[in-house]
Structure 1
């Protein structure tokens, strides 16, 4: 999913507040879907709030491959990593669920699943 940008071709586009709010809720919905799946399948994970951690946000932006970067702006969350390895974005995650290849997408090993309820 591409973030909203003020330019499309040579035309200036104005996005109403309702569009920005809808985008916010879509991002939250995608984040909840990923977290819900990981919790339901007892997969260890750490959720990082990049809005509050500048260093983590910059690290994330630097470690997303160039071919996954939008033409303008920054990639939208959720962006999924396994340690320092970039797995993909929500669309990649969703496709791996559809194809029943989430373990491969996340590069999981058997010791990366939860043994308790802490995350």
Structure 2
């Protein structure tokens, strides 16, 4: 699977440039393979992007602005949906990818599942462990978010 990021290499908009840099920097920080496709210098890329952004995701003028993100031909979203996924520590899900085994989120989810499998039928115990696990998962997600933000700034 190839993540495709449609960018405009010669955008006059500072906001668009910053959004493009944010997406690319975050993908690089997570070591996610991606391909940059320039819509400013390549008409085929521009047409493909415009035709493949779903109608309900297009702005009122009908012309989607970069960055637009795809997993092969599957539309993932624009900068705003990417940003929301990043804030929710759900970038892998947003991109349609499985988190790597070493990611904090993946490890926490696996540990949570292992503990749930080991717990007996005592419902009070289940609820107590679930809330502890949710707190631990939230801590790990917060740490991952902070680390991702720091890496993106570098």
Query: Which structure has the highest helix share of the two?
Result: 2
Which of these residues, 76, 86, 97, is aligned with residue 108 of structure 1?
Answer: 97
CA distance in 2, matches of 1:101, 1:110: 9
What TM-score do the two structures reach when normalised by structure 1?
0.71
Q: Which runs of 5+ in 2 are unaligned?
A: 1-10, 101-154
Match of 2:78 in 1: 89
Where do 4+ consecutive residues of structure 1 move more than 6 Å?
none
Distance 1:42 1:106, change over 3 A: same
CA distance in 1, matches of 2:19, 2:99: 25
What RMSD, in angstroms, separates the aligned Cα atoms of the two structures?
1.7
Q: Which has the higher relative contact order, 1 or 2, with Cα contacts under 8 A spaced 6 or more apart?
A: 1
Which of these residues, 79, 88, 100, is aligned with residue 99 of structure 1?
Answer: 88
Q: Which runs of 5+ in 1 are unaligned?
A: 1-19, 112-119
CA distance in 2, matches of 1:109, 1:58: 29
Count of residue pairs the alignment pairs up: 90
CA distance in 2, matches of 1:109, 1:54: 32
